[in-house]
Chains A and B, each alone.
Chain A
Amino acid sequence: DTGVSQNPRHKITKRGQNVTFRCDPISEHNRLYWYRQTLGQGPEFLTYFQNEAQLEKSRLLSDRFSAERPKGSFSTLEIQRTEQGDSAMYLCASTEGQGLYGYTFGSGTRLTVV
Chain B
Amino acid sequence: QQPVQSPQAVILREGEDAVINCSSSKALYSVHWYRQKHGEAPVFLMILLKGGEQKGHEKISASFNEKKQQSSLYLTASQLSYSGTYFCGTEIGAWGATNKLIFGTGTLLAVQP
Question: How many chain B residues touch A (Cβ–Cβ < 8 Å)?
Answer: 25
Taking a contact as CB atoms closer than 8 A, the residue among B43, B44, B87, B97 that contacts A43 in the complex is B87
B106 within 8 A of A: yes
Cα distance A51–B30 when bound, in Å? 22
Return B68 CB to nearest CB of chain A, in Å: 21
With contact pairs A91-B41, A105-B41, A108-B41 given, residues A48 and B32 touching in the complex (Cβ less than 8 Å): no
Interface residues of A in 69-114 (CB under 8 A from B): 91, 98-108
- Annotate A35-49 by CB proximity to B: 1 below 8 A, 0 otherwise: 100001111110010
- Given A100-B47, A102-B47, A103-B32, does the pair A42, B103 have CB atoms closer than 8 Å? yes
Within 8 A of A (CB), among B65-113: 87, 89, 91, 97, 99-106
Number of interface residues of A (CB under 8 A): 26
A-side contacts of B87, CB under 8 Å: 42-43
* Beta-carbon contacts under 8 Å, B1-55 to A: 2, 30, 32, 34, 40-47, 49
| Docked pose: A106 CA to B97 CA in angstroms | 23
Best-buried of A31, A43, A105, A106 by chain B (most CB within 10 Å)? A43
Knowing A91-B41, A105-B41 are in contact, say whether A33-B100 is a contact too (CB < 8 A).
yes
Task: Please state if B100 and A56 are interface contacts (CB–CB under 8 Å).
Answer: yes
Contact B99–A40 (Cβ < 8 Å): no
Given A56-B99, A91-B41, 8 other A-B residues pairs in contact with their CB atoms under 8 A: A41-B106, A42-B105, A42-B106, A45-B101, A102-B32, A102-B46, A103-B32, A103-B42
Interface, chain A (partner B; CB < 8 A): 4, 31, 33, 35, 40-45, 48, 50, 55-56, 91, 98-108
